[in-house]
């Protein structure tokens, strides 16, 4: 909701105006905020957000929001042990999607420099 250049309320108002001007159906807008005050949630909803969620966002809440708006939710084997009270970051780590834990599927083959390759080929030829 509190973003650097444009607040979530302002962004929502612009999106809703864009939809109205072009006769488009409303897209779903879910506000995420660290501000737990009732007034903040009310202003977000008045601006046109469908839902406002206060941090920390837990997996069960994220799953519920996805289901509410028709987004398919899959349970991955790697994430089955994560409780519904976990944060989405825990889910990313379990899936191996967090940048800090991303690893190649197979270890890269040792690369030799072109000079080494040419030298070994010339040795093999002799």
Express each pLDDT in 89-107 by its tens digit.
Answer: 555 555 555 444 444 454 4
Using the 3D structure, point to which of 55, 77, 92 is the last residue of a domain. 55
Contact 58, 86 (CB under 8 A): yes
Indicate whether 114 belongs to any domain.
no
Q: Please indicate, yes or no, whether residues 16 and 4 belong to a single structural domain of this protein.
A: yes
Indicate whether 87 belongs to any domain.
yes
Whether residue 80 is predicted with pLDDT greater than 70 in this model: the reply is: no
Q: Please indicate, yes or no, whether residues 28 and 62 belong to a single structural domain of this protein.
A: no
Place of tokens 């009310």: 42
Whether residue 120 is predicted with pLDDT greater than 70 in this model: the reply is: no
Query: Residue 53 pairs with which residues in a beta bridge?
Result: 32
User: pLDDT (tens digit, 9 = 90+) per residue, 38-48?
Assistant: 999 999 999 99
pTM: 0.58
Q: Please indicate, yes or no, whether residues 50 and 62 belong to a single structural domain of this protein.
A: no
Number of domains making up the chain: 2
pLDDT at position 103, please?
Answer: 43
* pLDDT > 70: percent of the chain: 57
Its sign, for the CA torsion 30, 35, 40, 41, is positive
> Quick one: pLDDT band at residue 14, thresholds 50, 70, 90?
very high
Provide the domain limits for residue 91: 58-103
Q: For the chain, list the strands marked E by DSSP.
A: 30-33, 51-54
Within 8 A by CB and 6+ apart from 112, the residues are 120
Within 8 A by CB and 6+ apart from 5, the residues are none
Q: Please indicate, yes or no, whether residues 24 and 62 belong to a single structural domain of this protein.
A: no
Q: What's the Rg (C-alpha) of the chain?
A: 24
Indicate whether 34 belongs to any domain.
yes
pLDDT at position 42, please?
Answer: 96
Q: How far apart are CA 31 and CA 17, in angstroms?
A: 17
> Quick one: pLDDT band at residue 117, thresholds 50, 70, 90?
very low
Indicate whether 110 belongs to any domain.
no
Indicate whether 43 belongs to any domain.
yes
Q: How far apart are CA 87 and CA 81, in angstroms?
A: 13
pLDDT at position 3, please?
Answer: 73
59: enclosing H helix or E strand = helix 59-68
pLDDT at position 77, please?
Answer: 59
């Amino acid at each position: 909701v509190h973003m650097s250049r444009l607040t979530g309320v302002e962004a929502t108002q612009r999106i809703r105006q864009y939809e109205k001007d072009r006769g488009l159906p409303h897209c779903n807008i879910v506000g995420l905020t660290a501000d737990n005050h009732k007034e903040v949630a009310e202003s977000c909803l008045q601006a046109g957000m469908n839902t406002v969620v206060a941090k920390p966002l837990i997996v069960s809440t994220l799953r519920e929001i996805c289901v509410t708006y028709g987004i398919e939710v899959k349970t991955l084997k790697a994430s089955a042990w994560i409780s519904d009270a976990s944060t989405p970051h825990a889910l990313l780590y379990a899936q191996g999607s967090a940048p800090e834990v991303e690893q190649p599927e197979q270890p890269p083959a040792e690369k030799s420099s072109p000079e080494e390759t040419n030298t070994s080929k010339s040795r093999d030829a002799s």
